[in-house]
Amino acid sequence: MVSTNLRGILSMRRIRTWAALVLSAVLLTACGGAKPEAKPATPAPTQTQAPAPAEKTWEPTKQVTLMVPYSAGGSTDLLARAIEKVWPKYVKQGLVVVNKSGAGGFEGRESVVRGAADGYTLMMGYGSGEDLVVPQLRTTNVDVFKDLLPVARMSVHSVLVAVPAASEFKSLKDVVDWAKKNPEKPVTAAVATAAGAQDIVMRGIGKVAGIKVTPVPHQGGSQAITALVGAQTMIGGGHPAEVMPHVKSGRLRVIGVALPERDPSLPDVQTLKEQGVNFSTWGSVKGIAVAKGTAPEVIKYYEEIMKKIAEDADFKKAMGDLYQPIMYQNAKDFGAFMTQAYGDYTKIIKDLDIKLQ
């Protein structure tokens, strides 16, 4: 890089610098106009505005996105993958599952709400804690009933109460008895997230049974269950999909389920009510939703596809392996259910005086 002709270098450099700047400017403008694409070769779904069809029926003409507002491996994600697996049997266009975790589940929701209501983006997990619980504790950017429309309910993930296998507690009654004998020591309970469905259950147990329960939040169900398996807390809450694999491998024991009646996929597990703690919640409802403004034909189409999927034998097997009960409801019933569940949670929050700290 050494040269005797200083002026020569400067002008050469200047030419090159300008060339590079112009080149980058051109490239940036060109790319700025184009839609962003994902790096691997698989085509990313583009969100162009499809004109709302005037006919009564509708079918997708390009790839559909199923948005999961949590990270991979959790129960909602697994449900989405089960749907993804059998989807090609019923729809010609492909389905791609996208995980958009962040802001405790709100980032994914927001991206669906702000996206085009053209029927090409579905949201998985409508009815979870972010929809039924959190909006009652703080202001959120997404209005559960105004910004999203129900399409179909696929499952309800009950909240199980579990203990490490080596624990002295064999039932919920043991836990309550121990806590009453040791009032200065709170019962520590691993839960997936703060103010989520499991957190509510733990606080509910504490209030109703009159014992001190300290929920210990984690970054999701997977981490909470890992902590419980490692006996870091005394008890823990989890959905069947996360808990049952460890029960099968002998590391966890389930001592109760927080539903009004026994979970159909776990007929041997007693409810909390049966054990003397009269508390139940809906757990985490897992349904599909679309952005407000989506045409009714689009919703009807997906409602029927989801019904077929719910009755599909492969889907049933996959859900069975995942310990997730199939509890299908169509759009109208699901909407009514959501309102009811929301009201149920309102009552719980008021009764238990639950607040974000």
Partner 1 sequence: MEILNGLIEGLGVAVAPTNLLFAFVGALLGTAVGVLPGLGPAATISLLLPMIYKIGSPATAVIFLAGIYYGAMYGGSTTSILLNLPGEAASVVTSLDGYKMALKGRAGAALGIAAIGSFIAGTIGVLGLTFVAPPLAEFALKFGPPEYFSLTLVGLLLAVFLSGSSIVKGMITLSLGLLFAAVGLDPVTGNVRFTLGTTHLQSGFDFVTLAMGIFGLGEIFYNLEQSEAGQIVTTKVGRLWPTMQDWAESKWAIVRGSVLGFVVGVLPGGGAVLSSLASYGLEKRLSKKPEEFGEGAIAGVAGPESANNAASSASFIPLMTLGIPANASIAMIYAALLIQGIQPGPFLITEHPDVFWGVTASMYIGNAMLLALNLPLVGLWVQLLRVPFSILGPVVVLFTTVGVFSIANNVTDIFSLLFFGVVGYLLKKFKFEVGPLPMAFVLAPMIENALRQSLLISNGSLSIFVVDRPISATLLGIFAVMVLSQVVKFFRTRARTAK
123 sits near partner 1 (criterion: CB under 8 A): no
Of 200, 191, 199, the C-alpha closest to 221 is 191
Residue from the set 11, 27, 180, 182 that interacts with partner 1 by CB under 8 A: 27
CB contact burial 91-123 (16+ within 10 A = b; e otherwise): beebbbbbbbbeebbbebbbbbbebbbbbbbbb
Q: Which of 7, 39, 56, 92 binds partner 1 (CB under 8 A)?
A: 39
d(CA 286, CA 124): 7
User: Of 207 and 251, which has the nearer Cβ to partner 1?
Assistant: 251
Quick one: which of 52, 103, 208, 295 contacts partner 1 (CB under 8 A)? 103
Of 211 and 259, the one with the shorter C-beta distance to partner 1 is 211
Cα separation, 356 vs 309, whole angstroms = 38
How far apart are CB 194 and partner 1 at their closest, in Å?
A: 5
The residues that bridge with 253 in the sheet, in sequence order, are 163
Q: Given candidates 188, 270, 297, 300, which one binds partner 1 under the rule CB under 8 A?
A: 188
* Burial per residue of 279-315, b for 16 or more beta-carbon CB atoms within 10 angstroms, e otherwise: bbbbbbbbbbbbbeebbebbbbbbbebbeebbebeeb
Residue 13 engages partner 1 in binding (rule: CB under 8 A): yes
At which residue do the structure tokens 């999961």 appear? Answer: 68
317 lines the binding site for partner 1 (CB under 8 A): yes
Phi and psi at 333, nearest 5°, equal: -65, -40
Q: Does 1 bind partner 1 (CB under 8 A)?
A: yes
If one asks whether residue 193 binds partner 1 (CB under 8 A), the answer comes out as yes
Amino acid in the structure at residue 83: I
Q: Considering only residues 93, 167, 223, 330, which one is a binding residue for partner 1 as defined by CB under 8 A?
A: 223
Q: How far is the CB of 94 from partner 1 (least distance, A)?
A: 7
Q: Which is nearer to partner 1, 42 or 61 (CB)?
A: 42
Q: Which of 230, 260, 276, 343 binds partner 1 (CB under 8 A)?
A: 230
Strand 213-217's sheet: what is its strand order? 213-217, 187-191, 235-238, 160-164, 252-257
Residues contacting partner 1: total by CB under 8 A = 80
Can you read off the two tokens belonging to residue 245?
């694999």
Q: Under rule CB under 8 A, which residues in 254-313 are in contact with partner 1?
A: none
Instruction: Give whichever of 57 and 139 is closer to partner 1, judged by the CB atom.
Output: 139
For partner 1, the closer CB: 108 or 256: 108
- Answer yes or no whether residue 17 interacts with partner 1 by CB under 8 A: yes
